[in-house]
Structure 1
Amino acid sequence: MEEQGDMCMRVMKSVAMVIIVVLAVSNTVALAAPLKLGITWPGESNQAIKIEEAFRAKIMELVPDVDLELQTVPDVEAMSELIARFEREKDGMIVMRSNGSQWLIAHPPVIPTFIAGVNHPGLLGVVKNLEAPEGNITGVTYYVPVEKQFDIFQAILPNLDSVLLLLQEGHASTPLDRTATQTVCKQLGITYYEQVCATEAESIAAVEAYRDKVSAVIIGANLLNDYAANIVKAAGHTPVFSFLVIAVNAGALGGFVADETIMGHLLAESVVEVLVNGKIINEVPIKMDPDPKFVLNVSTAEKLGINIPYNILQAATIVE
């Protein structure tokens, strides 16, 4: 009987050891499972591509076995099916562009979601508090405060007393650019005009109508920047600024740019904070480029006969 008891004890210990080993192996497998992320944005965007490339490089450095799936869609109407699949299959997802972020307002995500390539998320209505974003949304924004931009515009044009803001019909950033620019102009005593345009022809016609009435033309953060070369030509001797740097490369006098590489790296850090380190979304602020650069087209300045203050020349990124 004693021998049988010892044998039973040995069998039970062996079974227990097997169970412990199985559980340990199962836990190891679970811990070793790669972090799964879905990435998407609606339409075409060079900025989104650059941010995604920088993000990919940084996240693979921080989480080498991360599983990334990039699927773009033609427009926001095509997002529903893809997002639903991401929510079933992924640990988190990245949704880029302002219109993609706005889509989330009516479709609150059920997994941690990170936005990027987006204008001010608070003013767009995506979140209420950038420092403590609510719900399942955090990320990065390319927003540069309009006040900061006008500080430079006025330093370059001391007699700046009126502006024409070119807005794109239907663009997600249009209401934001309008409100922010109107507010700053009112504070600074600058006369504000705007024209909402749907086509290149409309934007050129608007500039031709206002170029002799205003001190400067500003292209908002929208796709009218694709027509910047012809907008600058239509403006003649009236300086053109932009809220996006693409226009500066095409001949606009100047504009600010948030660095896509920095934004991609900040995005990766936020993903790690939430999905690896276990922080809740509310503890991870929506981040901005801490030091956006003013980009100056010196060839345009020379053509317009504008003397750029030395301190701006020193700090600016120069294009010709």
Structure 2
Amino acid sequence: EGLRDLGYIEGKNISIEYRWAEGKYERFPDLIAELIALKVDVVVIAGTPATQAYQKARTSIPLVVVAVGDPVGTGIVASLNRPGGNITGLTSISPELEGKRIELLREVIPKLSHIAVLWNPKNAYHAIENKQVEAAAAALRMKVLYLGVETHEQLDNAFAQIVKERPGALLVLADRVFLHNRVLIMDFAAKHRLPGVYAYVELVEAGGLMSYGPNYADMHRRAATYVDKILKGTKPADLPVEAPIKFELMINLKAAKRIGVTVPPSVLYRADKVIKDAPG
């Protein structure tokens, strides 16, 4: 969509090769090798794990990244203003993002004292995000159940832990494994009447309660401007990495009714998008 707006028409003045890992990180090296072998002019990748896999391929083909957590802290670029090397793009970084998500949960569930966090140990940025979670939870005197999940197969064990420990809410960090398995995760949350806040709107659309974060769809559209500039000769090293300016809150009132949660007007008023419950 972003490329179309800039005058690019697939099959006419641009050719696009698509590759999907489907939440399976072990596929990254082979998929990246395929793109390198095709001698493409520029690669676009979403997320920190895939970006780090691209770095390991040691190719000089320019890379535009979308929604990487902390590109400086994870060694992807030298700095946001002067990325250096052959990588630039858009970051989803915000030092207080996880804290704000936890505060939202407390606003909706005032007596909340215990939360579960789904995170991926293979995602380097999650170690940084977990520190945000720890600080916010400590400030609100909450207990945190950390559940490391790297693959689809490990979700069942995480679910069993939640059933055993009975946390009052669920926080799911931004990761392609969770995005790919969103229906499974949200069906579990609904079955166990577990309210939650999520990084992706797709989890709310799949039946989750709330999402709060940058507009990822807009980030992908914005990536087209980087592709355009690189194709016209600009070096990635000369294109500053863009940080998100606006964060969006999405609330699913149908999910709230299903799990027996009342979203207070003070939270509902701040929502950018609301999925409304059917009358009657």
Aligned length: 261
Between the aligned partners of 1:284 and 1:319, the Cα distance in structure 2 is 38
1:178-228 alpha-carbon deviations (Å, 9 max, x no partner): 3432243234443222122443422321221122xx332222323343422
> What TM-score do the two structures reach when normalised by structure 2?
0.76
1:61-91 alpha-carbon deviations (Å, 9 max, x no partner): 59997423314165112135334335xx444
Quick check: which has more Rg, 1 or 2?
1
Counterpart among 68, 77, 81 of residue 15 in structure 2: 68
Shift in CA distance, 132/160, structure 1 to aligned 2, threshold 3 Å: farther
The CA deviation at 1:153 is 2.7
1:162 maps to 2:114: yes
Is the Cα contact below 8 Å between 2:187 and 2:207 reproduced in 1?
A: no
1:313 maps to 2:268: yes
1:98-133 alpha-carbon deviations (Å, 9 max, x no partner): 332111332344132211254443444322433332
Partner-residue secondary structure (3-state), 1:199:
helix
Match of 1:228 in 2: 185
Between 1 and 2, higher relative CO (CA 8 Å, sep ≥ 6) is seen in 2
Larger helix share, 1 or 2: 1
Counterpart among 201, 205, 215 of residue 168 in structure 2: 215
> What TM-score do the two structures reach when normalised by structure 1?
0.68
More deviation, 257-266/293-302 = 257-266
Shift in CA distance, 260/219, structure 1 to aligned 2, threshold 3 Å: closer
- Give the counterpart letter for 1:121 in structure 2: P
Between the aligned partners of 1:188 and 1:121, the Cα distance in structure 2 is 29
Match of 2:76 in 1: 126
The CA deviation at 1:296 is 0.7
Partner-residue secondary structure (3-state), 1:152:
helix
Match of 2:61 in 1: 111
> Which consecutive residues of structure 2, in runs of 5 or more, have no partner in the other structure?
22-26
Match of 1:180 in 2: 132
Is the Cα contact below 8 Å between 2:61 and 2:86 reproduced in 1?
A: yes
- Give the counterpart letter for 2:138 in structure 1: K
Shift in CA distance, 137/183, structure 1 to aligned 2, threshold 3 Å: farther
Shift in CA distance, 142/73, structure 1 to aligned 2, threshold 3 Å: same
Match of 2:5 in 1: 58
1:256 maps to 2:212: yes
- Give the counterpart letter for 2:105 in structure 1: F
1:241 maps to 2:201: no
RMSD of the alignment, in Å?
3.2
- Give the counterpart letter for 1:301 in structure 2: A
- Identical pairs, percent: 16
1:293 maps to 2:251: no
Shift in CA distance, 184/275, structure 1 to aligned 2, threshold 3 Å: farther
